Amino acid sequence: MEDPDGDSIYTAKILVKYDPEVPVEYKFKILPNRNISLPNNGWESVQNRILDVNGRKKIKAPYIEFGDIRRVARFIVDAKNLISKKVFLPLKGDILQIELNLDGKCTLTDALTASENSIYETAVMIPLKVKKIRYRLVKNINIPLTDWRDIFVGIRGKITNIK
């Protein structure tokens, strides 16, 4: 497989002989280039995929993600400063969220969870196909507390501390 732009999205062209009247079933497998053990022996654990060829002799499969890989962005917010400046008042009902801009489309996380000593956190799954990720901290759904910031989340994930 190839990753020409270095975005951790690999592509391949595979020629397959098939009967144009019978759907093609397939599944992905990771073949590591070093001696390591992978869950499920490298096979993705999703059901077989089905490519309906509808009598066509030539077909291009759509973009598909390996079923078990996820990019996770974890955000940890130290809210002590926000609380001391009375910018964020959790006892008055304020909530914190992360607003994400994924390739130009904005979305809000659920309210961050308080863990200990004014620390709030959340984790977000980022689709593999997303290339540009920006975030900002907001309170009460629509009040920005930080400017937009770029972030890179690779296959191994990313932990971002916000103070």
Q: What is the pLDDT of residues 59-109, one digit of tens each?
A: 777 767 666 566 889 999 999 999 999 999 999 999 999 999 999 999 999
Helix and strand numbers (H, E) in the chain are: 1, 11
Nearest to 146 by CA among 71, 73, 75: 75
Residue 160's closest CA among 123, 129, 109? 123
* Phi (first) and psi of residue 106, to 5 degrees: -95, 145
pLDDT digits (tens, 9 = 90+) for 100-118: 999 999 999 999 999 888 9
Asked if 133 and 157 count as a contact pair (C-beta separation under 8 A), the reply is no
Q: CA-CA distance, 34 to 26, in Å (whole number)?
A: 24
- CA Rg value for the chain: 21
